[in-house]
């Protein structure tokens, strides 16, 4: 049965692929993004409302949710997709960038969720899908900030599902692996300080690995969109879904091995 989905971060990558998929399946889509005036493809589609939502701007969140309800009468699904990855040695980051990473990936996600919950509670139904990552269960060097936010998304989502059950709302967590999005471009914020030579060997080895992983091994965004579709429509209480072959392999390996073995193997792979 078709419904209405509100998606954050719909201008590209996973968000845009999901907007297109749900539209193809006959759903109404509230496709939100920071700069809707730049969007051309989604604005041409019927039953798609393209509107501004910046997860760092509370007023824009409330306006987008209100506009979606006004346009389509009801929102059935919230997809918290907006986010980016800050990588680099912790020492190199100014505190403003540290705050921005957590404000975007964690506080912003909570703010959007909180804005939609009264509507879901009134309807006694709804589904929230939070985009986490294998980086919410597994860490890579120089990812202190990014992994910190994704581990937080895992924990807050799992905890939140208890109270959501009381109002008839389902919580779903989607954990993609390497996806061929602009995560390596504008959604990737790399900070380094070459005046700290102690970190540079790790920096060089990580960037080489990221280049390889984001190239040949990456799955297309459509793979994640299909998993999101399954999470929303499968009718189960399943909490976590992996997306991408590499994600399944990494997760299985992480669950099977102790910390020392898994992390040691990762260091060997990276040449550290």
- The catalytic residue positions are 132, 146, 150
Q: What does each C-alpha distance from 28 to 39, 92, 199 come to in angstroms?
A: 17, 43, 48
Structure tokens of 265?
């193997």
In terms of DSSP bridges, do strands 77-80 and 48-52 run parallel, antiparallel, or are they unpaired? unpaired
* Residues 153, 109 contacting (CB under 8 angstroms): yes
* Residues 144, 101 contacting (CB under 8 angstroms): no
Spatial distance between the Cα atoms of 21 and 255, rounded to a whole number of angstroms: 32
Q: Which of 116, 122, 107, 149 is nearest to 32 (CA)?
A: 116
Structure tokens of 48?
């798609």
Residue 134 burial (CB < 10 Å; 0-12/13-18/19+)? buried
Max CA separation in the chain (angstroms):
58
Spatial distance between the Cα atoms of 200 and 195, rounded to a whole number of angstroms: 9
């Amino acid at each position: 049965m078709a419904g209405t989905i509100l998606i954050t971060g719909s201008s590209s990558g996973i968000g845009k692929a999901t907007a297109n998929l749900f539209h193809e399946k006959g759903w109404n889509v509230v496709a939100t993004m920071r700069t809707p005036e730049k969007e051309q493809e989604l604005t041409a589609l019927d039953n798609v409302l393209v509107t501004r939502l910046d997860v760092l701007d509370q007023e824009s969140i409330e306006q987008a949710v209100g506009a979606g309800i006004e346009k389509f009468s009801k929102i059935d699904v919230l997809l918290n997709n907006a986010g980016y990855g800050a990588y680099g040695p912790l020492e190199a980051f100014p505190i403003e960038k540290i705050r921005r990473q957590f404000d975007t990936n964690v506080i912003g996600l909570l703010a959007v969720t909180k804005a939609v919950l009264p509507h879901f509670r009134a309807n006694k139904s709804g589904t929230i899908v939070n985009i986490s990552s294998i980086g919410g269960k597994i860490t890579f060097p120089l990812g202190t900030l990014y992994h910190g936010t994704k581990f937080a998304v895992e924990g807050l989502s799992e905890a939140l599902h208890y109270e959501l059950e009381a109002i008839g709302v389902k919580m779903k967590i989607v954990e993609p692996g390497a996806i061929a999005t602009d995560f390596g471009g504008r959604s990737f914020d790399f900070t380094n300080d070459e005046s700290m030579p102690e970190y540079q060997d790790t920096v060089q080895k990580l960037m080489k690995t990221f280049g390889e992983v984001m190239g040949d091994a990456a799955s297309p965004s459509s793979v994640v969109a299909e998993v999101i579709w399954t999470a929303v429509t499968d009718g189960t209480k399943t909490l976590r879904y992996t997306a991408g072959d590499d994600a399944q392999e990494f997760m299985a390996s992480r669950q099977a091995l102790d910390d020392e073995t898994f992390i040691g193997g990762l260091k060997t792979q990276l040449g550290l």
